Structures are given as structure tokens and as C-alpha cells.
Chain A
Amino acid sequence: MYLYLLKVFLFFILPAFPGYIFFARYFNHEENNSLKPLIYALGISPVFSLLVLYYALLIFKGLSPLVYVLLFSLSPFLLLIFKFDTSRLQFPESKYVVGLIIFLLSVFFYASRKELTEHDTLEYALQGRHFFHHLSVYYTSIPFHSENGFYYVGLHGFAFPLIYTWELMVNQLFRSESILLFKAVNSIYALLLVVLVFAELRKLGLKYAIAAAIILTLTSGFIFNALQFHLEMMRQFLFLAFVIFFIKVLTQHSLLALLVFAAIAGLQSTIHSIGAIAAALAVAIVILKLFITNSDKKLFQSFLVIVFLITFGWIHYILDILIGTGWILK
């Protein structure tokens, strides 16, 4: 259990520290609400770290697993190069922290009693194991694993397989074979998804937030997906966060909002093709809005949005089309 908690710390909590400072500042400490930045930080920061791991394995192949693990957990601290006003920053309320710990322990007991059996998840795990054995991410038109004959038919970004790769790297450092974090990620994101819905509607009134959170939690598809070991809840969380930032950009224009939106659009593309398609669609609509409203520096801003989208995740699909499986064009 200690290793599981350490992995949760390295995967979620440590990258979330700078993420929390960033989002608290971004939301301008609105309503003295620490829940919203906490949720965004916990949900988005690990995906940013996975992106850094992806680039590291793509460019600097074959380094020591320790280097990759350190890069993963510490890279979000790059955000702190921006000088944030931390004078009004408050530590997340203790009830949230206690609630999170109780939930994490419940997930531990659930995940440790169930085998990994889901078809897609096993494929992601095999791809993650393949990356770990080669200590590299690479593209090929025929994703055939010569070591065992497996053929990776997945067409999505590598974020989820890379969680498995990362966990094997941590395991190598601690001489363990546990994959509890890989199994637990989905349920942890299920909680984050419900709390995200709650946190976003709370400012309108508690009853709206509670109603939406209860309806979502009672929906059979949510219950079914939350109890699987899959990427689904991670995808749903990032997708919803991206849509919320998309709405923010449509309703209130600022360069920072535009860039944060494009970055989150890119990050959620790293998880699934649907996210990539949705991100491209949303970016096209945002650019359309810049032109309809005849915004200042619209060309420059459009260029920046596209660069951010690609850098933060869409790069995978471009590389896959050019030197990989061909993605949706095949």
C-alpha cells in the first residue's frame, strides 16, 4: 500500500502543486474557492507530465528510468517560472484532503482485488510495456511487437499506455511488480469528473451543483465505466475540462485564456482520438470567432493557438500520419 500511495503522490499530488498555484491564480482566487483549482490541478497536471515523458522518450531514448521519473514529477514546476502572486493563495480545505485520502484507500482495496481483464486496457498495457522495454516512444507503419508477436491496433495518443510505462519505471526503482496505479487511475478520474461538474456549477447555486453531480453519478454508463480499469474516466475528465475552457474562451476573450484553452485542448488529445478531433473542431471555431469579431492581432493569436494545440498533444497525430500508421487516413 505504501508504494501505491507513493505512486499516487508522484503521479497526482507532486505535479499538482505547481498546477494548483497556476489555476488558483488563473481563476483569480474566485469566491475563495480552493476546490476548483485543486480539481483542475489534480486532473490536468499528470497529463502535462505524461506529455513531458512522451517527449523525453521520443527524443532522449534509453536514459535511466530514474531520469524519466524525475522529469515526470518535476516538470510541472516549470510553471513556476511565471511569477505568481501567492499572497492570497490558500491551502486546499482539509475536508477535501481527507475525502481524497479516504477515496484513494478505497480505490486501493478495489484495484488490488481485481485482475486487469479489459480488452482495450490490456492493449494499452502491452504498448506501455513495449515502450518500457525499449525506453523509447517511436512511430512505425506496422506496430508489430517482435518480442511476442503482438500487434498494437490502437489509434489514440500515447498518454494512457505511458502511465503503464511510468509505473514500470517506478517499479524498477523499487523492485516491485505492482500495477495498482495503472488500475486505479480510472476510478480516481471518475471522482475528479464528478467533483469537476460540482465545482463548476457551485457558483450558480449549491442545488444545481448537487443535482448535476448526483445525476452523473447515478447514470449507468458512469457507474460501469468508473468500475473498470480503463482510460475512459481520464478521457472524460480532460474532455469536460477542455469544453469548459472552450466555453470560457467563447464568452470572455483574453490571450491567457486562449493559450490555456489551446494547451488543454492539446493535452486531452493525447488521450484519445475523439479528443483530438474535438480539439481541432473547437480550435477552428475559436479562430472563426476571432475573425468574426475582428479581434486585434487575430492572425498572430490564431497562429499561437494552433502552435499550442500541436505542441501540447496534437503532435502525436501529425507524426502518426506522416511516419506511423497513417491514423485516420489509412
Chain B
Amino acid sequence: MDIKVKQEVMFKYILGLSVVLITLVYFIVTTSYSGIPLTDAENRGIETPLKLWLNGYLGVFFGFKSNGNIIWLLPLLLLFAWPKLKQSLSVKLFLTFYLLLFVIIAVKGYINGRYQFTLVPISIMGIVLLVKELFEEKLQQKFFYLLIAFTLFNTLYFTALDFWPRYKERLFNMVNKTETNNTQQLDYITFINQNIKEEEWVLVNNLPEYFYYTNRKGLFCWTGQDVVYTAYGEQKLMNQKSDEELINFLVNQLNCQYFFTTIQLNNYHPEFTAFLERRAELVFNDHKKYLIYKFKE
């Protein structure tokens, strides 16, 4: 077969595969996509086993929302270029490095989209170089236009998916919005400064803004992992304590009278949230994000 015809066939094959695969991934990752995540797993787009594989372990290539929808082309193009590249020791060593790092990120950093993005810039450069290697001038140009169009569409698509539910909520919930405006609208810094005494400590649920903006004392905790960080190191927070034991631990041992959290973070530890409903009083709610509870002894 003539080399030009061969390249044309390869180009059409890649184009066809791209349309099918990208559509399929969109279908899978946007199933039950609400735009307003309720759990940590939903927030990270890994709430089902299939999504865990696509957005998590294989996120570098298929985590379209963050990394774009073209990085998966890298292994495919590499496969086509392999007969030319396999002679080079440098290429083999570099691919070993890339593969090992990919595995480390997949295993240890699958939960964090930022870690997956580590390999994106070098992968984009790799794709461009492989296109240069595999196709003649005219097809290269076509390929680049397609890559740019795919990437742009992907960004617009996920932006629209994220914004539409919030926009819809605003559009159709005008009544609720007015009600919210009539309720307590103090920001948390003002509330803390006015209502919590300087000697009173606050248990802070993974919100460093408390320490950054308030100049008050507190103890850092993360209910998502049931852990509290004290001067003696990490300790378990609930760890199957009874309500009485937990109140005693929080108020008398840790010296915390208040609990600072957000509406979203409260979803991550339902048992602790249930405990709060029984043994704490909600004293601040900005109806957007922040909540402050006072423990009831």
C-alpha cells in the first residue's frame, strides 16, 4: 500500500475510534452526573467501579473532565510508531520512566485529579511529536485542528455540565433564594469574633481558613477519616465511643466547645453528623457553606 494511503487509513481509523470512544466515556462518566456532588467520591467522580477506573486509576488518559479527551491517543500513536522507535535505548528508558510514574500515580494518587494532571503537559508534547513522526504535512495539520477542536469541545462540555444545574436551581428556585436572604447572613469570621470567647477552642473539620482568618485557637480534625490532630499526634475521633464518652473526650479532654464544618463535609461522616444532631446545637449557618455547632454537655 502506498505510504500516503496508509497514513490516510490510519488517520480515518483514529478519527473513527476517537468519536466512538469519547462518546462512550462521556456516556459513562456523566451518568447520574448532578453537578452538585453530595459525597467525597461523587466530588471526585469515582463513585461507581467503572468511574473509579476511568476517572481514578486510568485518569491520566480517561479523566476527561480534568485532563482533556485526547491523552488516551498517546499509547495508541505510540503503538503505531513503535516499529520506528524500538531501536532507541533512550526511548525505551524514557517510556519505562513514564510507565512507572503512571502506575505510581494510578495506585497512590488516583483519588486526586491534580496528581493525574502531572503527566498531561508532557503527554500533549508527546502526542504532537508522534503526529509529526507518523503523518505527512497535510494530515498533520488536519490532526492538530481535530485535537484542538476535541479539547475545546471537552472543556465547554464539562463547563456546561457543571454550571447548568446551579443555573437551573437559581432560575427555578427564586422563592427559596428570597427565603435564604432573610435568614442569618453573618459570615463565619464575624460570628466567631462576636460569639466565641478567646479561651474557647473550636474543633475544626479540615478547614484551615479558621486558623488563617480568625486568630483563634482550635484543633484540626478530619471527620472523613475519623481523626483529630492534637499536640500528642493523631488520635481517632469517634472510634465507637458512646455519645457520653465522645462528649467527654471533645469537651473535657480536648477542651473544644464548638465544631466548625461545612454542609458538604458533614456528609462524609454520617455517624458523626448524627451525633451532632443529638449532642450539639447548630448556632451558625450561612446557608451557603459554613456551619458552627456548640456541643451540649
Contact surface of A with B, Cβ cutoff 8 Å: 116-117, 119, 122-123, 125-126, 141-142, 144-146, 148-151, 153, 193, 197, 200-201, 204-205, 207-208, 211-212, 214-216, 218-225, 232, 235-236, 239-240, 243, 246-247, 250-251, 274, 277-278, 281-282, 285, 288-289, 292-293
Contact = CB atoms under 8 A, between A and B. Distances in A.
B68 A215 contact: yes
Interface of B: 65-68, 70, 89-90, 93-94, 96-97, 100-101, 104-105, 109, 113-115, 117-118, 120-122, 124-125, 127-129, 132, 140-141, 144, 147-148, 151-152, 154-155, 158-159, 201, 206-209, 211-212, 215-220, 229-233
Contact of B101 (A126, A240, A247, A281): A281
By DSSP majority rule, is chain A's interface helix, strand, loop, or mixed? Answer: helix
Contact of A149 (B148, B209, B217): B217
A250 B90 contact: yes
Given A151-B219, A220-B154, A289-B89, 14 more contacts: A148-B217, A149-B218, A150-B211, A151-B230, A211-B148, A215-B70, A216-B120, A219-B151, A221-B66, A221-B114, A222-B117, A239-B118, A282-B97, A288-B93
B94 A122 contact: no
A322 to B, nearest CB: 18
A150 B121 contact: no
B149 to A, nearest CB: 10
Contact of A220 (B65, B128, B141, B231): B65
Given A220-B154, A221-B66, A207 B144 contact: yes
Nearest to A330: B234
Contacts of B152: 218
Contacts of B114: 221, 225, 232
B121 A214 contact: no
By DSSP majority rule, is chain B's interface helix, strand, loop, or mixed? Answer: helix
B163 to A, nearest CB: 12
A212 B232 contact: no
Given A211-B147, A215-B148, A122 B208 contact: yes
Contacts of A222: 117, 120
Contacts of A243: 122
Given A201-B128, A215-B147, A236-B118, A151 B229 contact: yes
